[in-house]
Amino acid sequence: MGEALEFGSAKAGPGEKGTGYIKVGELSDGAPVEMPVIILNGKNPGPKLLVWALEDGDEYPGALGSLDAANNVLPDLLDEMNGSMVLLPATNISAFRGNPFGGATRNSPLDIDQGARLPGAYPGNLYGKHTNQLAYHINQVTVKYDPDVHIRYHGCKQMNGWDRVLYRESPEGSALDKLARACVTKKDEMCMLVYSRGEPVERPLAVSMESNGGDNGVGNGYNGDAMRDGLLNCMRHLKMIPGEEIVVEKIQYVSYQRVDMPDGRASSGGIMTRKGGFFSPLVAVKDDVKAGQVVGVVKNFFGDVVEEINSPIDGVVLSTYAEAPHIGSGQWRVFAIAARTEYR
């Protein structure tokens, strides 16, 4: 039998679900800022799985998918479950609350300059900005729980794109490679984005699932089904819950490339405009493109093309801009294009 777990006001003994809040700050009137936490503590000992969502407060699919799993699927499996899962479904809670007119913001409005991004703030600082203090409290959960596996959810509503799994480069057949592949439950639903080189950390095994909330991995909405299914399949892979792991035989591996340009360097994963105006993509998500190909244009109010956007590499389109019909120079990436590396 496993051990009892407690984080903030949430408590769960073996075979129990616990819910509550962790205090992460205070407003100017002294009211607490609290982050929700869900504990799913299996009856039997086993792996410890930590799941984060909404580090960027407007990236909804991962939160919706993990909440679906935590509230509607896993409670019925606790007597058979090996190990435990701790879910922080809205880590950047003040950004999730957003503005008074509805809808979340990417960064926390409690940082007056709106400039602090939570994913880059760990391990945090109790003496820093709100986001630094928030990162400290989140990191304390990680230190206390000491997880074997860590899943983070992202997915940008500003982009229409192909769902992807991000992880540090790892040898084929390694524990991390197998875990990343377990996130994929349908052929061509997700691609595998290897985001850095170097030695992977052995523990915790860490992956990030990124969704744009659409069907077959393409869309710009609030559908968390692919994120839910990937989480549950990872738990089957880890032998945490009953059921046979879904194994997808062929998955596309891709990587971003940095390219020298006449006036600097460009990343294929974040292609920006140098002009402002109305943006129109000329290619679709999952299209193959060639280096130098015109993939989009920016027009002014009079219909004149003021910029042609060229692909910096031979690759596949992972994302296109979808937040608004217009954009300013360097305001946001209008394309993410990756090189195909393997299909295995």
What digits encode the pLDDT tens for the residues 306-344?
999 999 999 999 999 988 899 999 988 999 999 999 999
Q: What is the pLDDT of residues 234-293, one digit of tens each?
A: 999 999 999 999 999 999 999 999 999 888 888 999 999 999 999 999 999 999 999 999
pLDDT exceeds 90 at position 222? no
Length of the chain: 344
Confidence of residue 162 (pLDDT cuts 50, 70, 90): very high
Name the amino acid, one letter, at 10.
A
Given a contact cutoff of 8 angstroms between Cβ atoms, the answer to whether 39 and 7 are in contact is yes
User: CA 207 to CA 177: how far, in whole Å?
Assistant: 10
Confidence grade of residue 113 (pLDDT, cut at 50, 70, 90): low
104 pLDDT band, cuts 50/70/90, is confident
For the chain, what percent of residues have pLDDT higher than 70?
95
Domains of the chain: 5-253 (3.40.630.10), 257-343 (2.40.50.100)
117-155, pLDDT tens digit by residue? 898 899 999 999 889 999 999 999 999 999 999 999 998
Flag whether pLDDT at 111 surpasses 80.
Answer: no
Burial class of residue 77 (count of CB atoms within 10 Å of its CB; 0-12, 13-18, 19+): middle
Q: Give the CA radius of gyration of the chain.
A: 21
Q: What is the pTM of this model?
A: 0.92
